[in-house]
Structures are given as structure tokens and as C-alpha cells.
Structure 1
Amino acid sequence: MDLQGKKISILMPAYNCEKFVERAILSILEQSYKNFELLIADDKSTDKTRELIDDFSDQRIIRFHNDKNEGYLKTCNKLFEQSTGDFISFQDADDYAHPERFEKLIEAFESNGDLMVAGSAVIRVSNDDEVLGELQFAQTTAEIRQALPKKFECIGSALIVKREVTERFGLYHEFFDRIGSEDLYWFGVVASVYQVKNLSDPLYYYRDNPNSVSRMIKGNVRKIMSKDFAVEGVKYFLKKRKVLFDDKYRSRSLELFLLGKGLCWQKEYRKGTAKIILSIFLNPFYPNSRVSTLKLYLPKLFKN
């Protein structure tokens, strides 16, 4: 199967990353695979990120800057809606890509006509470009599915996906807006339905940045519990083949439970226990894990 003529749409939201954004863009422009469009949106940065983006004149760069800060998820979804490629991929504005990243990923699709999503191993780098290590992921569909729903064998920004997958599932669910793990939930759902694969080649350089948005939790319990939301969402999809977060009744009950659990982890036992109890009352037909969690933290409530 010859896919070399297929177009890739690469989505790059950018926010306050003036130190890294030029390298991120150059790593795409210097790809050995040439048929792509790079859709970029500055998300109302307060530094020079937008100026640095606008300094590039390559015609493959298409800009959709935000007039107000929308957050990563909404910005990414907006760029996706403007994309025209046969494949959709990503590049975080503080990361960068191996020059053969897309060529090798497209070759994976050429060798397997049923493949719908592909990723790769990842190199972790510091803010000063020091190599911190390598992340390898399960490579076959069977291995990736076996790890679900508790483990997600990918870095979301290192993925590439055929458009027909997004035509069925869209991109990121807005339940995860500004809390993170939207890519993990999306990948878990898609991997449970379609053929997926990870290459052992490290083709993506992931910035292990302690100041990144994903690390700036600052006590936000919903952010702290974001991966747990993804786990429960995928678990529900595997069982019901339905999207949990489209059911406001069930998702609200789950949200109260996980927020309560997170508050208890932060030793706010009174607030946390109240939310766990409320989640049980809201959905008494799914009490097992919630009751066991309540039994764990209820004694601590009385001690405090």
C-alpha cells in the first residue's frame, strides 16, 4: 500500500513556550516526509510565543491564534476541526520530533492496511536538552489492550491516526478540559476498537518540564484525579461500548467519588468523605468500590 502521497495534519497548540517553540516548529519543517500541514494556535500567551510563531513564513504553517486563553484541549479540538489531512498527528510546542518521525510512522501503515493508530518510543529530555531516559511502550494491539484500562501504552502527542478514526470518535472529550489525561482516555477507547501499534524507534522527544501546564496542579483535585477519570471512562467503554461522560447522571456520580477520594488523599477527610457519601446516594447501583473507600477513610474522619 503506497501512502507516501497522503497528507498529515499536525496540530500544535502553544502557550508560554518561547524557549522551545522554535525548535518544535523546525523539527516539523525539517521532516523527511514532506506532505503535511502544521496547524498552530497561540493560546493567548503572555510571553513571546506568538511573535516567534509568526516569524516563520513556511506556507505549510497555518495559524489560528486564540483571542483569549482556551486551554490545550479546546485549542487542539479547534485545530482538528480546521485540518484537511488524511492523517492527524500532534506536536506539543515544548517538545520536538526526530527528522524521520512521520516517514517511519507512515511506513508502519503501509505495512499493515488494518492499522489505524501508530505511536513510538519516546526520549525524555530536560529543559536544557539533557537526555533523561527513554520510554518504551507495548507494541502490538494485543499487548496494548491487555494493559487497559489501568495502563495506557502511549504518549498522546507522539501518536498519528487515520482520519476515519476521528470521524467516528472525534478528538478530545470536553469533560477533560483543563484537567489533562484527555489523550489517554481517547487512546484507550480507540485502542479497544481499532488496530494500534507502537514502534520501538524513539521518534518523539518529550520535554520533562516541571513548569509545564500538566505539572502545575497546585491542589486542583480534578487535575490530580484526571488519570483516574480516564481509567474509569475506558473501563465503562470496554464494558458498555458507551461514553460514560455523555451520561451526566453517571459521570457526576463518578466525579463526586473521585474528587472525594482525592480530597481524602490530601487529608481533607471531612470534605472527601461527604463527596463519597453523596456519590453513593446519587448512584446506589454502583456502590462496591465506593463503600470500600468510605470504610477506609470514615474512621479517619472521626479521628480528625
Structure 2
Amino acid sequence: MSNENKNKITVFMAAYNAAPYIATSIESVLRQSYPHFELLIVDDGSTDNTTQIVRSYDDPRIRLIENGENKGLPFTRNVALSEAKGEFMAVLDSDDIAFPNRLETQLQHFLDRSKLAVLGACAYIIDEEGNRTDQKMVPICESEKLHAGLLFYNSFVHSTVMMRTAAFREMGGYPNHPVAQDYGLFSRIALKYEVDNIPEYLGEYRIHDSNITDRKRHLAETQLRAILFYQLDKLLPNTDHIDPDILRAPVIGSKYSPQEYYALYREIILQNRKRKQYPTLELEQILYNNWYMIVMEKGKSKTLPLLLRTPVFNRSHATAKHIRKAFKQSLRYILGIRP
């Protein structure tokens, strides 16, 4: 193995009490068609036999680091800041599975695209026993649409992601959040570098009881708001007047008025046209799609004039069907015909 190829990729695995699944995860890495990798496993103070299982593998590509005590997922993931030797870092959670072609496939995309910093893929969902369910994880696989969407939601399957290690280090690694560290990291990287997903299934994501709890859901919602405002602070001159729920809550059944949505959407659109923080066409398409649902639910006799308000309305985003339905709804309310 030449020095040029040695440890081209660091496969990073954070582990805590992962004994039931970690052997399967490790073996999926060792079966990779691309051989020039290291498997860096960081154990976060497991109280089961996770570390014994890792040590049972006699493979020089495996490195085990032990925290000694439980220090939490952000700390554990950020061990890679100093320890990863690869030019690229592929994430694999200790209960998930990488398909044999994963590293080879993703590496080729990075070699072909010099500005690419984060690349994810699709994944099948498996249950606790490793049986494939009828569900799949299919993220957005268009780079500019993905980038624009990161203002509102995370569209990466974390356990399929490969990153340029330099970009990961430049951002200081994962933010020190109890949950949603991946979304926080990827949304920051996307403000400077190209990010993407490929429409290929490169792994299996395991669902089990310990994946998420009610407490985690509450923490996640709190953190998602913080990530949203981090991005808005980069885009808007002032965010003190913005209620985070207006962008976090579903627009259908929302408590907010069309006027409140319009004021915020207009501000986002105009500032983004000036700053070019997100791909303009894709961001405005997302906002227009929301706007259409809002005015169809709340517009009543003013549905059509509300829909046509610029800059939220754009002829390149609207369809003839949208305009026709908005016109019919306005007319019904004017004539006193309720849906």
C-alpha cells in the first residue's frame, strides 16, 4: 500500500453500549471494495462488552479510542477532529450497516468534484433484528435544492455521510448540542461549500427503541430552532422580531396569518437575492410552495390576489393549476358558495 493511498478515508464510529450491533457494523466496513481506510472507533464509556468486541478483531486498520467515562455524543464525535488521519471522513453509527461499495462510490464523487464537502446517500431501514422494513430513507438528491432546504430541515442520512476532513475541522467539528449535531454541522458547511446526496442506497439504518425518546424530541425541537436562527442571523439584518414557530410549525393548520407569513417570506427572499446565501430559484420555490398552501387554506375571497403577491409569487414557480384553483376558491367565497 503506497503512502499516497494509505488511510485515504477515515471511517468514524462513535459507540456506547453497542454490543448487540457493533460487530455487524464493523464487518460491513471490513468488507468494503475500497481498501485504503482506517476504522476509528471511539467508545464513550460503555458498560457492556463493546470494547471487548472491538478488540477481538485482529485488523491493523481498526483503531479503538476509549473516553474512559461517558462524555456524550458531541465530545465523542469530535475526537475525530484530532484523530482522523484520512483526507475524507465517512460516518457510520455503531448499529448501522455500510454496503460494500459505499466508500468507493462516495470517494469517486469527491475526486470528480473539488468543491464538494459533504456527500450523503439513501438508506434502507432495518429493525432491531436486522430485517429490512418497507420503509426507506430518501433524502433530497439535488445539490442546490438540498442547500436551500437546509434552512428549514436536515435532509442527510447521517450514517451515509462522507465529508472532507479539512472542512469538518474548519467548522470546529460537531456543535456541542445534545441532539441534531449533524444538522448543525452540515448547515454550517453548506454556507461555504458544496453539499449533496446521491440517489443510491449505500447502507442500512437501524430503528430500535433507544433511537429516540420524548425527551430527545423536545431537545431536538429546541436545537432545531437554534440552528434555524444561526442561519437566519447570517441572512437577515435583524431576527429579534421573528417567532421561530412560524418557520418550524407546519403551515397547514397554522395559527399565523397570511400577512405574517408574507412579511417574513418577503424579507427572506429579498435579503437572499442580495446576499446569495442560498440558491435563489430553489429557496423561492420552497417558500412559494408553502405560500400556496397558506393562501389556499386561509385566503378565502382573497385567495387569488394573495397568491399573486410578489416577490413570493413568481411565474416560474406557479402552475396553471395553482392559479385556476386559487381563482375558483376566491370566486366561491365571493358568491357565498362554501367549499
Shorter chain as denominator, the TM-score bin is 0.7 to 0.9
**Long gaps (5+) in structure 1:** 241-283, 297-304
Task: Look up the match of 2:279.
Answer: none
More displaced, 138-147 or 86-95?
138-147
After superposition, the C-alpha distances for 1:113-151 in whole angstroms (9 at most, x for unaligned) are 332221111111111112222111222321112212112
CA distance in 2, matches of 1:170, 1:202: 29
2:156 is aligned, of 144, 154, 157, to 154
CA distance in 2, matches of 1:42, 1:183: 19
Task: Look up the match of 1:180.
Answer: 179
Task: Look up the match of 1:251.
Answer: none
Structure 1 letter corresponding to 2:233: Y
The SS at the match of 2:229 is: helix
CA distance in 2, matches of 1:167, 1:17: 26
What is the TM-score of this pair, normalised by structure 1?
0.73
Offset of residue 49 of structure 1 = 1.2
CA distance in 1, matches of 2:105, 2:194: 17
Offset of residue 220 of structure 1 = 7.8
CA distance in 2, matches of 1:28, 1:291: 41
CA distance in 2, matches of 1:233, 1:219: 21
Structure number with larger C-alpha Rg: 2
2:256 is aligned with 1:235: no
State, as a whole percentage, how many aligned pairs show the same letter.
Answer: 24
Structure 2 letter corresponding to 1:115: L
Task: Look up the match of 1:245.
Answer: none
CA distance in 2, matches of 1:285, 1:31: 47
Offset of residue 232 of structure 1 = 2.5
Offset of residue 291 of structure 1 = 11
CA distance in 2, matches of 1:291, 1:217: 19
Task: Look up the match of 1:267.
Answer: none
Change (3 A) 1:195 1:290: closer
CA distance in 2, matches of 1:189, 1:50: 33
Task: Look up the match of 2:64.
Answer: 63
Task: Look up the match of 1:28.
Answer: 29
Task: Look up the match of 2:95.
Answer: 94
2:240 is aligned with 1:286: yes
The SS at the match of 1:164 is: helix
Change (3 A) 1:219 1:38: closer
CA distance in 2, matches of 1:114, 1:149: 20
Task: Look up the match of 1:279.
Answer: none
When the two chains are superposed, the root-mean-square deviation of aligned CA atoms in Å is 2.5
Structure 1 letter corresponding to 2:112: S
CA distance in 1, matches of 2:104, 2:216: 41
CA distance in 2, matches of 1:169, 1:74: 15
Task: Look up the match of 1:163.
Answer: 165
- Assess if the C-alpha contact under 8 Å between 1:90 and 1:160 holds in 2: yes
Offset of residue 12 of structure 1 = 0.8
Q: How many pairs were matched up?
A: 243
Aligned pairs (5 A) from 1:246-265 = none
After superposition, the C-alpha distances for 1:240-269 in whole angstroms (9 at most, x for unaligned) are 7xxxxxxxxxxxxxxxxxxxxxxxxxxxxx
Change (3 A) 1:148 1:61: same
2:219 is aligned, of 211, 218, 222, to 222
Change (3 A) 1:76 1:167: closer
What is the TM-score of this pair, normalised by structure 2?
0.66
Structure 1 letter corresponding to 2:223: S
- Assess if the C-alpha contact under 8 Å between 2:78 and 2:173 holds in 1: yes
CA distance in 2, matches of 1:285, 1:117: 28
Change (3 A) 1:291 1:73: closer
Task: Look up the match of 1:116.
Answer: 117
2:154 is aligned with 1:200: no
After superposition, the C-alpha distances for 1:32-65 in whole angstroms (9 at most, x for unaligned) are 1111111112211122212111111110011111
CA distance in 2, matches of 1:207, 1:51: 22
- Assess if the C-alpha contact under 8 Å between 2:89 and 2:162 holds in 1: yes
Offset of residue 219 of structure 1 = 7.3
